[in-house]
Amino acid sequence: MVVEGTFRGRLITSIVATAKKLVPEVVVQEVQRYRAYGRDERSLYLKIRISNGLGFTNPKLSRVPKTARSFLFVCFGNIMRSPMCQALLNRELACLHNAQFTVVSAGLNAIPGKPAHPWAIAAAKELGIALEGHRAQLLSPEMVDQADVIFAMDYHNQVQLLSRWAGAKSKTFFLSAYAGEDFRPLEIRDPYYSGLEGTRSCYRVLSACIQNLVRALSDEERTPLSSGELIPPGHSGRAVSR
């Protein structure tokens, strides 16, 4: 019995190792992502991915209505991406005249009261943003109802959001639609496991997104910024590379 069990274990290990060599890494990652969703979320994820993959929908081309005045940014824990977007958009909107906006951020899995991640605080400071006073808040039905526009960062945000509030589909957008032509991914991935440099890179993308969003809202006819370009806060002149 011991010999048989040992042989069976070795056979399974061998099969798994062979499968990993034959199956592309992207497929393995996709299976892992699928399994990470809850049972009720998996069908929604597949529907969204198939629709995007076949070209029935293209989130990168979606734009928010210029009449939008209430913006909600969501991410996983509300300690890195979404609070930075909230702070960036508030700073940019302060330069617009005769317009009233509401900007909120929240996490789909946030621990209420948790401060911003240390990497987030450090990377934000380099862009002139202070996140030391930020405290995470959990996404609520009231926030969803009151928002004209909801920005998600990745598929996980989108799936969790729409699985809980299906009625928010028409006002949910991917922020990467405003990232510029040099940023091809649809998702702006969570830098939680990417260190300070990964957070800096993420925040450069977020900064370009927010500046391009404000340009669109203010009808500025300018070439969209790329993720490698930044404009000093309060300035509408030529972008500078960093």
Please identify every residue annotated as catalytic: 75, 81, 190
Round to whole Å and give the CA distance between 146 and 149: 9
Half-sphere exposure of 86 (CA within 13 A, CB side): 25
Report long-range pairs for 211-215 (Cβ below 8 Å, ≥24 apart).
211/92, 212/178, 212/179, 212/180, 213/64, 213/89, 213/175, 213/178, 214/89, 214/92, 214/93, 214/95, 214/96
Neighbours of 77 (CB within 10 A): 21
